[in-house]
Amino acid sequence: MARQRKRKGDPVHGWLAVDKPVNLTSTQVVGKLKRLFNAQKAGHGGTLDPLADGILPIAFGEATKTAQWAMDCDKEYVFTVEWGTSTASQDKEGEVIANSDVRPSREQIEAALPGFIGDIQQVPPKYSAIKVDGERAYDLARDGETFEIPSREVTVYEAELVNIPDTDHATLRVVTGKGFYVRAMARDLAQALGAEGHVSQLRRTRVGALDEASAMSLDQLEAMADDKEALLGALQPLETVLDDVPALDIDASDKALIKQGREIVLLPHLIEQWRAETDDDPDNRLAITLCDGVAVALGEVRAGRFKPSRVFQI
């Protein structure tokens, strides 16, 4: 029998809210932190462009099994639109493709924003990671290919004008669901106002429950390099990104059964607790079980039983 190769590094588990600086890719940040924590496994919960800064959720170990929830949860952005020029990439690095002398007023911007709130149709930027016929859109765009990306429905919960620092710039804040592109909103807002514009500055201020108050910079984390206990203390439990998933406390015997991939029978009070915390969607049966405050598994509640689908090896 072939021996299983031992994974390099330490078994580190949990989420870390990193305040990513500009000019670093999300993948570069993951690499730096994986080395810093000497972690066996690490990934991120939603890409942040190199030109953007702010909250980048980093998943370590078993937390990577919950990365999809971080990608799907609500996000908050604060961004600045620079009027006068539109660029191919809708940010300041792209080639200028149009110019205009139009400078929208505060009243005009505020009047246009309600049209960007709710379930709206949005065409992702051509310089994006969207796949078109199996190819990344940004690769096709860089090669000068002609192609179209279909619109898709995205949700915007809030959109407000924060500040107009000068006539050439406007700073806005949005709270959005998954799949939303700030650069596409800047493009569409400029078009709605009869102007040209692109994103000159972008900051993500929140991803679900991970926000600026809980975030740490790379410099702060690297200063802890010789203090492993302090580094591990910066981690948040993997259920942090599952704040809308009902949590059920189980005992050690049920934990042992779940670790074997088996269903458990839920006590009546746990079923009532789950019903009280779940939403009105009858198809949403999701729950997470914890034992002594440590996540055991994600799974579904059906007919008074919990059936695990993702078991956490912590």
Confidence at residue 217, expressed as pLDDT on a 0 to 100 scale? 97
Taking only the tens place, the pLDDT of each residue in 50-68 is: 899 999 999 999 999 999 9
Q: Residue 1 has what pLDDT? A: 46
For residue 2, pLDDT over 60 is answered with no
Tell me, yes or no, whether 144 and 23 share the same domain: no
Give the residue numbers marked as catalytic: 49
Distance (Å, rounded) from C-alpha 210 to C-alpha 189?
28
Same domain (yes/no): 54, 79? no
163 and 113 within one domain = yes
Q: Are residues 24 and 56 in the same domain?
A: yes
Each residue's pLDDT tens digit, 287-307: 999 999 999 999 999 999 999
Tell me how far the alpha carbon of residue 150 is from its chain's centroid: 22
Give the CA angle between residues 152, 153, 155 to the nearest 5°. Answer: 140
- Look at residue 218 and give its three-state secondary structure: helix
Please give the angle made by the CA atoms of 229, 233 and 234, to the nearest 5 degrees: 125
User: What pLDDT sits at residue 134?
Assistant: 82
The pLDDT value recorded for residue 4 is 56
* 203 and 183 belong to one structural domain: yes
104 and 81 within one domain: yes
Inside any domain, residue 99: yes
> Positive or negative, the Cα torsion across 140, 145, 150, 156?
positive
Q: Nearest to residue 198, comparing CAs of 305, 61, 100, 280?
A: 100
Radius of gyration of the chain (CA): 22
Q: Which residues contact 272 (CB under 8 A, 6 or more apart)?
A: none
Question: Residues 182-187: what's their mean pLDDT?
Answer: 97
Query: Would you mind telling me the total number of residues written for the chain in this entry?
Result: 314
- The range of the structural domain enclosing residue 148 comes to 75-207
Asked if residue 200 belongs to a domain, the reply is: yes
Domain membership of residue 6 (yes or no) is no
Final residue in a domain of this structure, among 192, 218, 240: 240
Within this chain, do residues 48 and 93 fall inside the same structural domain, yes or no?
Answer: no
Q: Is residue 249 part of a domain?
A: yes
Domain count of the chain? 3
User: Residue 100 domain-assigned?
Assistant: yes
What is the arithmetic mean of pLDDT over 141-164? 91
The per-residue pLDDT for range 100-142, each reduced to its tens digit, is 999 999 999 999 999 999 999 999 988 777 888 788 888 888 8
Asked whether residue 88 is domain-assigned, the answer is: yes
